[in-house]
Amino acid sequence: MLPMYSSLSHLFVLNTSTTRLLRHGCLFLTVTLALAAFLSTAWAQVSPPPDGGYPGANTAEGDAALSSLTTGEDNTALGFKALAANTTGGQNTATGERALRSNTTGVSNTATGLLALTINAAGSNNTATGVQALFSNTADNNTATGASALANNTTGSENTADGLQALYSNTTGADNTATGVEALLSNTEGGGNTAMGRSALRSNTTGDFNTANGFQSLFGNTTGTENTATGFFALANNTTGQLNTATGRSALGVNTTGQGNTATGAFALRNSNGNRNTAIGQATLLFNSGDLNIALGDGAGGNLTSGSNNIDIGNTGVAGESATIRIGKSGTQTKTFVAGINGAAVTGSAVKVNAAGQLGTAPSSERFKDEIKPMDKASEAIEALRPVTFRYKPEIDSEGVPQFGLVAEDVEKVNPDLVVHDDNGKPFTVRYEAVNAMLLNEFLKEHRNVAQQQSTIAELKTTVAQQQKQIAAQQAIAAQQHKQIEALTATVRRVDERVELSVPARQIAANDD
């Protein structure tokens, strides 16, 4: 029985020892024969006994398995024609009919399953598990697990396919990872893709650097690149769109060619085909096909259709509108707090808010106005207004700062157009800018009156001055006349005196006669 063990290295040592023992005594020969008889009995328990005697630590089991081996070492072939063409390749493991059948020089390949890695000749470091897994492969560093996984891959390298027909059509694409039945099924040349989930990236052919995680995510993508889809049916219909990110069930589900979109949440941007939209929240921007929209919150932007450049936060938006910002829902949010405004010094126009909640600045240009006419006597209503001092209630102003103004109810009695009402139709605040305009009108009217009065006074002053001049002239004439009168009076007096002196003389003369 000794010759049947002569090919075993450990028995070579035994035979050498036996020869040496024969030279030194029969006792050792007896022991050796007894041991040989024991080992012969042990091997005889396996029927038929295992194959052995292959050089280079190779193991083969099956017709034509490793039948072409020359110098390859550390190969294991189990199955009909497994590793049949291998000559110098080493460290390969083939389990299954025709597994690694064409491999000649490839090393460190592992093939498990019927026709796994069948065509591979020189590719190395490949792992194929499943019927026809990596069937056509000739490249390196691929891993395929599942029937027909990476079945058509030829020169694509560093791919990983896990699932029935995962990366089935891939030929030259590299650095792809597909996990799930039919994941990246149609991919041929696309590289750097990651697909996890049944039919994820199923239609992708040449698109690169896509990531799909979820059932049928990026299902229809063909040549689109750098897309990321996470969730059931996410970006499922995308074909050539690029740089999209969809997270959530059916997120960007209808998008085909839109680019640069970000959708997070179930049905976010589901029916969109626009570009560079951002939607975060369930059913956000659900029907939009515009561009550069931002929606945040469940249902945000849900009414937008074709509008662009909108920002909707917690608001459904309005169909067809563009370049609009909407924050919150009327009737739901009743208070607004925005930091960084109070106490911040800034110049500019005062911000107004209309009854619909829209912010803006009141325009003054005539191109925004109709029926322009003078205010005239309409401003006289402010004469009936009653200015008051007051303090706001604690829930409005906890510090109770003294205030100056009007009471809306009082103003409404004078002129309802000067009052803004709340949603319930009750007076809420006074249109102080209108009051100011009315004050300006009354001021201008008074100013015109004063100007007119001043003009009249000036005229009167001129008249008085002229009269004063006339009076002065008349006074000068009167003074001159007075002087003349005085001179005449003196002359008359002298005449009278002369007359008086002449009368007695005539009397004396008469008497003498």
**Quick check: 407 pLDDT over 60?**
yes
Per the prediction, the chain carries an average pLDDT of 87
Q: Please tell me the total count of domains within the chain.
A: 2
In the three-class reduction of DSSP (H, G, I as helix; E, B as strand; rest coil), residue 418 is classed as: helix
What is the pLDDT confidence band of residue 30, given thresholds at 50, 70 and 90? very low
Sorted by sequence, the CB contacts under 8 Å of residue 255 that are 6+ apart come out as 235, 237, 238, 241, 244, 246, 261, 269, 272, 273
- Is residue 430 in some structural domain? yes
The predicted structure's pLDDT at residue 493 = 86
What is the pLDDT confidence band of residue 20, given thresholds at 50, 70 and 90? very low
The predicted structure's pLDDT at residue 509 = 63
**Quick check: 190 pLDDT over 70?**
yes
Range from 391-405, 472-486, 496-510 carrying the lowest mean pLDDT: 496-510
Residue 192: name the closest of 221, 227, 163 by CA. 227
Percent of the chain with pLDDT over 70: 88
**Quick check: 38 pLDDT over 50?**
no
Q: Look at 39 and 447; give whichever has higher pLDDT.
A: 447
The C-alpha atoms of residue 235 and residue 213 are separated, in whole angstroms, by 10
Residue numbers of the domain that contains 415 = 372-478
**Quick check: 45 pLDDT over 70?**
no
- Is residue 432 in some structural domain? yes
Range from 44-58, 215-229, 246-260, 398-412 carrying the lowest mean pLDDT: 44-58
Q: Is 303 left (phi over 0), alpha (psi -120 to 50) or beta?
A: alpha
The C-alpha atoms of residue 229 and residue 221 are separated, in whole angstroms, by 11
pLDDT average, residue stretch 97-111: 93
pLDDT average, residue stretch 454-479: 91
For residue 498, CA distances in Å to 230, 310, 484, 494, 503 come to 146, 122, 21, 6, 9
- Is residue 37 in some structural domain? yes
- Is residue 379 in some structural domain? yes
pLDDT average, residue stretch 214-220: 95
The predicted structure's pLDDT at residue 116 = 92
Q: Look at 261 and 53; give whichever has higher pLDDT.
A: 261
The C-alpha atoms of residue 29 and residue 18 are separated, in whole angstroms, by 6
pLDDT average, residue stretch 268-283: 93
The predicted structure's pLDDT at residue 512 = 64
- Is residue 347 in some structural domain? no
CATH of the domain at 474: 1.10.10
What is the pLDDT confidence band of residue 503, given thresholds at 50, 70 and 90? low
The predicted structure's pLDDT at residue 49 = 55
pLDDT average, residue stretch 39-64: 67
**Quick check: 22 pLDDT over 80?**
no
The predicted structure's pLDDT at residue 357 = 85
Residue 422: name the closest of 479, 357, 373, 364 by CA. 357
The C-alpha atoms of residue 305 and residue 319 are separated, in whole angstroms, by 5
pLDDT average, residue stretch 228-249: 95
User: Is-above-0.95 flag for pTM?
Assistant: no
The C-alpha atoms of residue 164 and residue 117 are separated, in whole angstroms, by 15
The predicted structure's pLDDT at residue 513 = 61
Helices marked H in 273-407: none
What is the pLDDT confidence band of residue 321, given thresholds at 50, 70 and 90? very high
The C-alpha atoms of residue 418 and residue 379 are separated, in whole angstroms, by 11
Q: Which amino acid is at 179?
A: T
Tens of pLDDT, residue by residue over 64-86, are 999 999 999 999 999 999 999 99
**Quick check: 42 pLDDT over 50?**
no
What is the pLDDT confidence band of residue 24, given thresholds at 50, 70 and 90? very low
The C-alpha atoms of residue 314 and residue 327 are separated, in whole angstroms, by 6
pLDDT average, residue stretch 323-333: 91
pLDDT average, residue stretch 322-329: 94
- Is residue 420 in some structural domain? yes
